[in-house]
Amino acid sequence: MRRTILAGLAAAGACLMSLSASAAPLPKSPRAGPPPAAPIVIAHRGASAERPEHTLAAYALAIAEGADFIEPDLVSTRDGVLVARHENEISGTTDVASHPEFAARRRSQDIDGVSVTGWFTEDFTLAELKTLRASERLPQLRPANAGYDGQFDIPTLDEIVALAKTETARSGRTIGIYPETKHPSHFTRIGLPIEPALLKALAAAGWTRASDPVFIQSFEVDNLKALRGQTGVRLVQLIAVGPTPDGHDYDAMRTPAGLNAIKAYADAIGPARELIIPSDKEGVLGAVTSLVADAHAAGLEVHPWTFRPENYFLGKKWRSSPDPKARGAAVDEIRFYLETGIDGLFSDSPAAAVAALAPPDVSGRDSPAGN
């Protein structure tokens, strides 16, 4: 995904529609009291629009901005410890390439049918990974985040759980976690399955029931089906387009029959937001699909991904300028999607999502642009 984004940056400026005013900064809007039943705000890899993703700093800022859940993508170290990284290949999110002591560990391997070259978490012990420092994954779009490169280490799942519990006690507001099992078939195949370590950590935290502040998500199907018999916490089937990494069919999942089948092992779906409101290559939105209504009819919640504040990611009508990295009207875009009846959303800017959930401005003016 990173290569696709970076390759499109030059072309993106030419196709973005210029609007009359630049985006105004969004004030921080922490939520008071316990989180609502719905919609929930899921901090996508933390407040990743403001800090390098999957760092304790990003998660802490997300909580301060009012997120209900913080989302770690979980991968395994060589010694079986779960850590938070977008991918198990870490050259784009750490300074591993600058460590000569690890140069020989660069290699290629097949991940879900794709040949990937780089450095992989499963080739490092936790102690070794802790010598690395996080870096911004999208520096061309988020240059301010790149200013934090080198300041934060790679957090473990245990550290993330501890942060959520500490902030829950401090704030009086329940902060949950929303972990994704990343490439679970791959890690099982190499003898480092994610699920046992995840369930052990959740049990140690006292989180084993549907009422606990946890959702486990996966793009795969078979591991969710297995998890349904091993834990009571809520499970989420992520949905993209085409085949799943473990040989199922996302397109079939979106039918009423497919959604009813998901309900047998999961509590919610996490679809790409384009599956709720499609858009063309210029960012012009089409008609709302029946996915939310069909999922609700099957008894499933709907938590789409991912809402981001930069023009590059926004629908055309919410962009502030032709500059792909400039911030547009993210709050207004999220409010538009909330009208479809979604039960939660993944956002790189929890502050924008929280602002979108606030009562509309009684003056009748347009809402402020998100940052």
Task: Give the least confident one: 3-7, 162-166, 253-257, 289-293.
Answer: 3-7
Domain containing residue 311? 2-87+153-357
**Model pLDDT for residues 178-208, shown as the tens digit of each residue:** 999 999 999 999 999 999 999 999 999 999 9
Quote the pLDDT of residue 20. 29
Residue 196: both structure tokens together:
């046992």
pLDDT at 7: 43
Angle at 58 between CA 122 and CA 65, to 5 degrees: 150
- Residue 74's H or E segment, with its range, is strand 73-76
In a domain, 146, yes or no: no
Of 16, 48, 27, 13, nearest to 370 by C-alpha is 27
Q: What are the angstrom distances between the C-alpha of 13 and each of 111, 273, 310, 322, 325?
A: 33, 22, 12, 5, 9
| Domain contains 125 | no
Buried b (16+ CB within 10 A) or exposed e, 260-278: ebbbebbbbbbbebebbbe
Residue 290 lies in a domain: yes
Tell me, what's the pLDDT at 37?
56
pLDDT tens figures, 79-120: 999 999 999 999 999 999 999 999 999 999 999 999 999 999
Q: In what order do the strands lie in the sheet with 344-347?
A: 176-177, 69-71, 40-44, 344-347
Within a domain: residue 203? yes
Residue 230 has pLDDT above 60, yes or no: yes
Question: What domain count does the chain have?
Answer: 1
- Tell whether 174 is covered by a domain: yes
In-domain check, residue 139: no
Which pair of tokens denotes residue 116? 């990937």
C-alpha angle 54-265-292 in degrees, rounded to nearest 5:
75
Q: What is the pLDDT of residue 318?
A: 98
CATH number of domain containing 273: 3.20.20.190
Q: In this structure, are strands 82-84 and 73-76 parallel, antiparallel, or unpaired?
A: antiparallel
Over pLDDT 90: what percentage of the chain? 86
365 part of a folded domain: no
Asked whether residue 115 is domain-assigned, the answer is: no
Of the candidates 240, 234, 233, 235, the one whose C-alpha atom is nearest the C-alpha of residue 219 is: 240
Report the chain's terminal Cα–Cα distance, integer Å: 22
Closest of 141, 137, 99 to residue 119, by C-alpha: 99
pLDDT in tens, 134-179: 999 999 999 999 999 999 999 999 999 999 999 999 999 999 999 9
**Which pair of structure tokens corresponds to residue 31?**
């939520």
Q: Identify the pLDDT of residue 23.
A: 32
- Candidate from 3-17, 49-63, 231-245, 298-312 with smallest mean pLDDT: 3-17
Residue 369 confidence (pLDDT) = 36
